[in-house]
Amino acid sequence: MTKADLVTVIYERVGLSKKEATEIVEALFECIKNTLAEGESLKISGFGTFHVRKKGIRKGRNPKSGAEIQITPRKVVTFKPSMQFRTVAEKADS
């Protein structure tokens, strides 16, 4: 499933035009990204929580040359699915 499929679902189920549906799908993901870019977590009940986690400086290794390098501190986005999401996904076929 891609963004285009989400647009189709909204078009079919909510009755917006494809143009309007595209606009709102884009707006939703832009708003989520902006929220996370501010360092703020986002909790969607029944779906899950997006967290922004701070990672400290650590040592790593270039896997090719074996040279030791510093990995700079950074922020990462993690997603924790809600119990309800985990429950519906747990028996999905491979």
Contact residues: another protein, CB under 8 A: 1-3, 5-6, 9-10, 13-14, 16, 20-21, 23-25, 27-33, 35-48, 50, 52, 74-79, 81, 85-86, 88-94
Q: How far is the CB of 2 from another protein (least distance, A)?
A: 5
Residue 58 or 66 having the CB closest to another protein: 58
One-letter amino acid of 93 = D
CA–CA dist 40, 2 (Å, integer) = 25
Q: How far is the CB of 73 from another protein (least distance, A)?
A: 10
Q: Are 18 and 11 in contact (CB under 8 A)?
A: yes
Q: How far is the CB of 94 from another protein (least distance, A)?
A: 7
CA–CA dist 73, 16 (Å, integer) = 44
